[in-house]
Amino acid sequence: MSATIDGVQAGRRVEEVLDRLAATGDRTACAAAEELVRVLMDFYGAGLARIVEKVGAGPLRAVCDDELVASLLSLHGLHPEDVHTRIARALAAHGEPVELLGFDAESGVLRLRPAASTGCGCGSGSGGGSGAGRTLEDTLACFAPEVTGVEREPAAAPAPALLQIGTRPPSPARVP
């Protein structure tokens, strides 16, 4: 059962249900639904906190690369890794070759640019990583929900080729 649950999709479904309730105009039903979500979040968060307290952060590291577990631990402030480590984990899990330029914790904005490649320079990189079919933002939402936006900067211009200039001609061309 747990293999079929996707944290990002579950979050979107909750948002959709709350939006549908809001569209009815029934403020009482909306308030009750939002309270229910909060109560359930508190309940599951308290249970997870107790698990973390009992087993410690060490054993949790074995499941930190699982998107669903990482998402739940991060959502409740229980993840044993700091946000920068989780951002790096998300970037690696997604597989898109990017260079991390910085993360602003106050705004939640992550700045990236395409990583320099050793390809032909025509921009026809292979792309696809293990995040097949998922956006980088979805992968970040699982591992580092503190990231609320991603700014992509243009790729850095390739460095010009180094031209070696010798001080004398090669030895076969020497004149006696």
The pTM score is 0.65
Reference 57, options 88, 26, 81; nearest CA is: 81
The rounded distance, in Å, linking the Cα atoms of 72 and 116 is 34
The pLDDT, as a whole number, for residue 168 is: 66
Structure tokens at 9: 């999709």
The rounded distance, in Å, linking the Cα atoms of 42 and 109 is 27
The pLDDT, as a whole number, for residue 149 is: 92
Stretches in the chain below the pLDDT threshold 50 = 1-2, 118-131
Query: Hey, what long-range contacts does 15-18 have (CB within 8 A, 24 or more apart)?
Result: none
The pLDDT, as a whole number, for residue 152 is: 92
Distance in Å from the first CA to the final CA of the chain: 84
The rounded distance, in Å, linking the Cα atoms of 138 and 126 is 20
The pLDDT, as a whole number, for residue 120 is: 46
Reference 140, options 172, 164, 111, 115; nearest CA is: 111
